[in-house]
Amino acid sequence: MVEPLERLVPDGGLIRGSTITIGGVGATSLALQLSTAASQSGSWVVVVGLNDLAPVAVLEANLDAERIAFIDPGNSGRHVDVLAALIGAVDVIVLDARLSLRPSDGRRLASRLRERGSILIVVSPGGAVNSSLSADLSLTVGDAQWEGLGCGYGHLRSRRVRVGVNGRGRASRMARCELLLPSVDAQVAIAESEREDGTVVAFSR
Amino acid sequence: MLCPDWPVIATAASADEAVAVIAANRVTATSPAARAEGVEVGLRRRDAQRRCPGLHIVDPDPDRDARVFASIASLVDQFTPRVELSSPGSLAFPTLGPSRYFGGDDPLARLVASEIDEALGSSGWFDAVGVGVADGIFAATRAAELAVARPGHVSVIPSGQSAKFLSPFPVSVLGRPELADVLYRLGLRRIGDFAALNVDDVVARFGVEGRFLHRLARGIDDRPSSVGPPPRSFDVESVIDPPAERVDIAAFAARSVADDLHDQLCAEGLACTRLLVVVETDAGERLERVWRHEGALSSTGIVDRVRWQLDGWLNGPSAQRPSGGVSRLLLVPDEVMPARGRQHGFWGGETEADERAGRALARVQGMLGVAAVTVPERRGGRGPADVVVRAPFVGVGGDDGQGRGVALDAPWPGRVPSPLPTLLPTELLPIQVLDVRGASVWVSGRGTLSAEPSMVRLDDAARGGVSILGWAGPWPCDERWWDQLTHRRRARLQLALADGRALLVQIEQGSWSVEAIYD
């Protein structure tokens, strides 16, 4: 996982076999940043659904262009079969939350994930995740504030977001973190803010 | 037999038109009319267009080339049954038997040349073919290159004279730029100089590959000495039921057979250099072709060749088209060599994980169709949607290695400032951009806004307007103004909204729409 995101999750990285859900405004960027380190170290990232995801943004997030593929299941209704074929064969699967799963399928896929050690990231751009998959880790992006854009001048440079972390086991204690997503170099960074008493905080549990 | 302009001929262009095939921004084949204007192979697209403004540019398409070439290959079939295709545009056959029948190498070559020249001439492409006869395929190909420009299109090198014939060529024709560079700096500029070296010295300095090239240079044989017939039969076949009428269905069946063959050969430590592909239809028709490959055919390479062959047969001229669907597919490795093995990459390169992912993606393609699985591919363009597009996935690290060279550091005129938007709406999302009084904002012909935008209203009527916190623009964009059909004129506006969203909106022909979303 890229360095700024290590503090976000309890074990400092993505755990094989786990399911992560990401929702809210900024979910797409966070999902890409979460997959970057895995992609850089030679893992495949396959995106199922999310037909509106811009390939150019995927490259800007530093994912390895040789190890990424997009799958459009259309309205064939076969996305469950597709997921079953991918689990175990690729390391990171990014799934569009708009592709609905039956609870029984969700359980089957989750056990297959744990057995084969792939990571499933369920993304719901702009909205809350409403999936029958029970998440090991659920991230909610909110309170987005863009910087760099004035009224008639400048351009979007960075966005300050608040990410809520929730999940099972060690992640069950709700944590919050302020991130620059994207930061000025189009990557991700911890946003530090000054409290009224003068202490600098970025992370709280 | 060699046809250097084949990729151009296959496009069905007329011979007096200036046409160039351009792959990865470099000219790979040209028509004689384009050559007359100074367009050469290896030129960049822009230079080619500067030398010949009327140049018609075509994208490379090996499937098309192979499909059209099948008709030429069938012409040669009447002279000899053993036709080997190496790539679309060139084929080879052993002349020993046929030349005795036709009265020598020279008459045979003349017959083949005139037959093909006539066939090509019917579509206006006279003088596009060359036939060369020599001791090995390498020398014969050089001879055929020379023969294209000669009257009669034939050049026959007598047996045993190949080394002498090759000696004045520059070392670069050996097709190994790194080696040619080293040899050139060593003062060995002609093939003859290289051939004069002692074999032991060549092996000591350049290894096995050097020995192979040294053999080429001496005109002995162009196969690595280890090539030979397979120790046992590796034939694999697949019965397709119901018979496949379409190329993609048959090619899909070929994929599993090819993998099977590849695995069998791998288990014996062998790689295939020449392959016989036999297809049969349910009506009993049969088409055989021999394909050869300089290196070793990978399983994706085998599938490609089967697809080319089927494509030429099933979609070819109606006189040759089979009457039934493809019911049986047989792959017979004809010549094998010890596989040097493919070292899995330690950092980068092709790894076990790549192979696994490639297989899974191929399986998904089988479920959903080929176009459902895509990979990023760099294209030219100005908008964030044009610069990198989704192209169908072909294979991991295959012959055409996809995904390579997709980098964002290349020049991108009209670039939207970084960070780039992450979502591109798949359908048109109309939006209203309003000023403080609720009137619509527009952009004048000189690229100025009619008023400051203060809120937007997306088309779903249930939601009210969202106020704008910040905006930048308008950034005018005038694309392809020289072409009436594809001309686009629009202006972009970057908006940060009160609900935390940020949009890239555009106005085109007086109406606003969302071009991209920063999510």
Kindly report the CATH number assigned to the domain that includes residue B187: 1.10.150.20
On whether residue A170 sits in a domain, the answer given is: no
**Which candidate from B420, B516, B519 shows the least CB-CB separation from A26?**
B519
Phi-psi region of B42 (alpha: psi -120 to 50; beta: other; left: phi over 0): left
**Is the CB of B453 inside 8 Å of chain A's CB atoms?**
no
CA distance A108 to chain B (A): 19
B142 with B182, same domain? no
**pLDDT digit of tens for each residue in chain A (205 aa)?**
566 677 777 777 788 888 899 988 889 999 998 898 888 888 899 999 888 999 988 988 888 888 899 999 888 788 888 999 899 889 999 999 888 888 888 888 989 999 998 999 999 887 777 767 778 888 888 888 888 888 888 888 888 888 888 887 766 666 778 888 888 887 888 776 554 454 445 544 4
Kindly report the CATH number assigned to the domain that includes residue A7: 3.40.50.300
Identity of the highest mean pLDDT range in B63-67, B79-83, B142-146, B151-155: B142-146
Residue B371: domain span: 365-392
Do the Cβ atoms of B5 and B128 come closer than 8 Å? yes
Taking contacts as CB-CB distances below 8 angstroms, the residues of chain B near A127 are none
- Higher pLDDT pick, B349 / B201: B201
B43 with B155, same domain? yes
Residues 6+ positions from B354 with CB-CB distance below 8 Å:
A44, A67, B396, B397
The reported pLDDT for the residue numbered B399 is 38
On whether residue A20 sits in a domain, the answer given is: yes
On whether residue B358 sits in a domain, the answer given is: no
B183 with B257, same domain? no
The reported pLDDT for the residue numbered B161 is 83
| Domain count of the fold of chain B | 5
Mind listing the pLDDT tens digit for each residue in B493-512?
999 988 888 999 999 888 88
Q: Residue B177 — very low, low, confident or very high, per pLDDT cuts 50/70/90?
A: confident
The reported pLDDT for the residue numbered B101 is 84
Q: Which residues of B13-50 are buried (b: 16+ CB within 10 A; e: fewer)?
A: bebebbbbbbeeeebebbbbbbeebebeeebebeebbe
Do the Cβ atoms of B392 and B398 come closer than 8 Å? no
Q: Which amino acid is at B67?
A: R
The reported pLDDT for the residue numbered B407 is 61
B42 with B143, same domain? yes
Identify the CA nearest to B3 among candidates B106, B171, B123. B123
φ, ψ (nearest 5 deg) of residue B509: 55, 35
B452 with B491, same domain? yes
Q: Which amino acid is at B484?
A: Q
Exposed, middle or buried: residue A59 (CB in 10 Å: 0-12, 13-18, 19+)? buried
Whole-angstrom Cα distance, residue B69 to residue B91? 10
The reported pLDDT for the residue numbered A70 is 93
Q: Which amino acid is at A32?
A: L
- Give the residue from B350, B361, B364 with the most A CB atoms within 10 Å of its CB, the best one to mutate: B364
Q: What is the pTM of this model?
A: 0.58
CB contact (8 A) between residue B519 and residue A27: yes
B141 with B191, same domain? no
CB contact (8 A) between residue B496 and residue A146: yes
On whether residue B346 sits in a domain, the answer given is: no
On whether residue B48 sits in a domain, the answer given is: yes
Phi-psi region of A124 (alpha: psi -120 to 50; beta: other; left: phi over 0): beta
**Which candidate from A44, A74, A149 shows the least CB-CB separation from B357?**
A44
B205 with B82, same domain? no
| Domain count of the fold of chain A | 1
B145 with B279, same domain? no
On whether residue B351 sits in a domain, the answer given is: no
B133 with B201, same domain? no
Shortest CA distance from A26: residue in chain B: B519
CB contact (8 A) between residue A72 and residue B417: no
Taking contacts as CB-CB distances below 8 angstroms, the residues of chain A near B499 are 25
On whether residue B360 sits in a domain, the answer given is: no
On whether residue A120 sits in a domain, the answer given is: yes
